[in-house]
Structure 1
């Protein structure tokens, strides 16, 4: 994909690349290493939650309720944090990324016997990322999930075929690229989880460090 200059650095493709790689990695890590729970894909957690409600399986219900509540809390706090730090010289999105990196490092030390805690932390920071990074070159998108991106990619592709307006084709390519990157991140998450176990989340943290570096010095 052609890299474009853009006034909001956090919306540029290089930043989105590493954020999305981390997003896919986190979902694969949490599902593969933390008890089949999704850090990002809360739709999947809701489906599994209500399956266990039907089965009257209390322990499994709690396992899926925890990341859901943590995700809601993460979005709420990120929203309040944005409002509070509007005048801060260090932009609030960079602070969010710093918190996310720190929390991921913490998760790497959480044993598998406390997966609920690890999943709560991951869902919390993923929610903060979802809220904080919502655009690529002015287009609405998500770095931690795919369904909205897939809808937007296909909608813009259809509009291109209707109008022959290249702006829709460009938008569609961006969305499909983000989906592909997310999938690659998920593949990395599965692969490296098999090698490094619980500590593999540090690779996602490293990806966020690269995004943070670009935002400071790009």
Structure 2
């Protein structure tokens, strides 16, 4: 259990960091008509998002925030539900786009990504027992579900990297943004030691804006149905 406590937050970051919920806004296209399936929390272009995936990620986020000492009110818990749901929907949209562009992940590539995660290693090498313990006690998920999520996240990361390669911050833009930072945030400007690091930050921000606009444009062709309210009403009844 000491090993688990040591690596729990690292494992959570591996999974949750793949979510784009903090970067992107929603479509506002949720359709909740039709019969709800108790095992499906949402559909994105006919791809079903299992309710168990939603509960797994929801519990992980809740546990992480409670472990940090946060007092979670009913309003906060409801907000977490919506954020997790939004993250799963966004993940489905980008995964579908990644597959459309041919960014598939082979079994060997998946295995290599798992072997590279320190939390799953013992003495510097992938260890099956450590992997099983982390999933069972840390993430409370199955290898099948975790590896499915990991495969999807690798695919999405490749799509994002493909887009980011075309993004540039010119010297003129860097100078303008540096001068703007000096005026608007002098304290942060004083801490700025490496302009190239600042260029990379600007590049990431520009990339986020481009991806955000693209995501919103995809909304006109994406059909989303959400069943969370129906599921919770049925389970409460």
Normalising by structure 1, we get a TM-score of 0.26
Q: Which has the higher strand share?
A: 2
The structure with the larger Rg is 2
